Copies of this chain bind each other. A is one copy, B any other.
Amino acid sequence: MLKNPIVLLDLVNRLGNLMRAEFRRIGSEDGLQPVHVLSLLFLEQANRFSNTPQALAEYLGLTKGTVSQSLLLLDRRGLIERYQDEIDKRVVRLRLSPQGEAFLSETNPAGLWQTATREISANRVRYSVSVLRTILYEIQNFSGGPAFGVCNTCVYCQRKSQRIHHCTWFGERLSGPETRKICREQVPKTGSLSASD
């Protein structure tokens, strides 16, 4: 009999393929490839420690050279903006341009997914998220790359008061909204990996 983890892998692959096809459809009107849509979605979610070409390359599992080309295209189309980092001048920071944000809100690449998950209870979604996140974290352990988790489920994220959080990894203050973005240095709290969070 097929081992259940393999069935799960098959589902992840297939859902990935389907969403890839959906992103292709979404982007085709504007001449964008799936990788471009994925890049825009990433930049929408990445926090200020993770909005670099390098981080995007790790997120997509591609080389930085390849990603550099995709970013060039997005820049030419005016969908993203690139600017130099103040402190480390080798680093390029990325953000969505107003057009990029408009593209996402108009096309809503996740629309199909949202429709498909409408009837699924929040509990079941949360449970699945915790399982997949555990797997992601394990894969990161074995293959070295960052896991890219949501900031507020990270061991380094400390809540100082109602509104103020602090990241003990980067040693910086975080606003509330910032703690809901995804970060390349995220290390999940053990509690956030269980089904009961």
Chain A residues within CB distance 8 Å of chain B: 1-22, 24, 38, 41, 45, 59-62, 110, 112-117, 119-120, 122, 124-129, 131-136, 138-139, 141-143, 145, 148, 150, 180, 182, 195
* Complex contact B132–A11 (CB within 8 A): yes
CB distance from A142 to the nearest CB of B (A): 6
Which B residues touch A180, using CB under 8 A? 1-2
A80 to B131, CA, bound (A): 35
Sampled A-B contacts (25; CB under 8 Å)? A2-B150, A3-B114, A4-B129, A6-B114, A8-B129, A11-B132, A12-B12, A12-B19, A13-B19, A14-B136, A15-B132, A17-B38, A18-B61, A18-B139, A21-B61, A112-B139, A113-B135, A113-B139, A115-B138, A116-B138, A116-B139, A117-B138, A124-B131, A127-B131, A128-B132
A59 to B191, CA, bound (A): 36
- Which of A20, A150, A182 is most buried by chain B, counting CB atoms within 10 A of its CB? A20
Beyond the given pairs A12-B132, A112-B142, A128-B128, 20 more chain A to chain B contacts, judged by CB atoms under 8 angstroms and listed by A's residue number, are A5-B125, A8-B128, A8-B129, A9-B110, A12-B19, A13-B38, A14-B136, A14-B148, A15-B16, A15-B135, A15-B139, A17-B60, A18-B61, A20-B61, A21-B61, A112-B139, A115-B142, A116-B141, A119-B138, A120-B134
CB distance from A47 to the nearest CB of B (A): 12
* Complex contact A112–B143 (CB within 8 A): yes
* Complex contact A10–B125 (CB within 8 A): no
A163 to B145, CA, bound (A): 46
The 5 closest A-B pairs by CB, nearest first: A16-B16, A21-B61, A116-B138, A5-B117, A11-B132
- Which of A21, A131, A182 is most buried by chain B, counting CB atoms within 10 A of its CB? A131
